[in-house]
Amino acid sequence: MNLLKDSFETLKKPTMLVKRKDKADLTEAVKNFAIGGAIGGLIGGVLSAFFQFIMSVLSGNVVGAFFQLLLTPIFMIVFAIILAPIGNLIMNGLYYLVAKALGGKATYAQQTYLVSIPSIVGLAISVILSAVPFIGSFILAPLFGLYLLYITVVVIRDVHQLEIVKAAAAVILPIIAISFVVMVLAAILAVLFASLLGGLFVGGAAAGMYGN
């Protein structure tokens, strides 16, 4: 309970996080991300399983409904426990590289540990907001996501002793870079897929002509 309380308090007041930099531990950071992922996975799994359960019951698949109700939360918890630490460690690595290039003074462990503390409750809140009908996924969760990015900026500013503009750049630049890479890969895949479909269409048309 103390861990959740600390996470919630730092979520409300991120400037207090820098006081804990001397207690930084990368292992603890991984544990925090995993706990946050587990809580978020549990909440998301239960909500998802509930909706799947209702749909399965309405369609007459009662046995399948109970299996979904049991297994969906378990799968989501397992995946979240694995993916949350990996994703956050990678992103913090990118933030760290940019922050150091801009004159940052903290270690990777210090930065990542401080970011991990508010993420425990933050991940759970994100999942809950996403489940709000109509406005959750499109308004509430993205807005809260921006607040979590703000907390990361505050942590990087304080722990690396950077100006707020440089701290913001350390967070925004990696996100822009990743977004650009994803868009380029998506464009390449789209072109390859279109070429494949075009080849199949031309091949099919040619085969039809020769067949006639």
Helical spans, DSSP H, in the chain: 2-12, 26-58, 62-101, 108-130, 141-160, 164-211
Phi-psi region of 161 (alpha: psi -120 to 50; beta: other; left: phi over 0): left
Write down the pLDDT at residue 208.
54
pTM reported for the whole predicted model: 0.84
For residue 202, pLDDT beyond 90: no
Mean pLDDT of the chain: 88
Q: What is the mean pLDDT of residues 16-23?
A: 91
Spatial separation of the C-alpha atoms in residues 143 and 149, rounded to whole Å: 10
Answer for the pair 169, 102: CB distance below 8 angstroms, yes or no: yes
Q: How confident is the model at residue 201 (pLDDT cuts 50, 70, 90)?
A: low
Among residues 10, 4, 39, 2, which one has the least CA distance to residue 159?
A: 10
Pick the range with the lowest mean pLDDT from 24-28, 39-43, 133-137, 207-211.
Answer: 207-211
Spatial separation of the C-alpha atoms in residues 37 and 84, rounded to whole Å: 5
Each residue's pLDDT tens digit, 47-100: 887 877 777 777 777 666 677 777 888 888 999 999 999 999 999 999 999 999
Write down the pLDDT at residue 68.
72
Q: How confident is the model at residue 25 (pLDDT cuts 50, 70, 90)?
A: very high
Write down the pLDDT at residue 55.
76
User: 107: which DSSP letter?
Assistant: -
Place of tokens 């007041």: 13
Write down the pLDDT at residue 186.
93
Q: What percent of the chain has pLDDT over 70?
A: 91
Give the three-state DSSP class for 59: coil
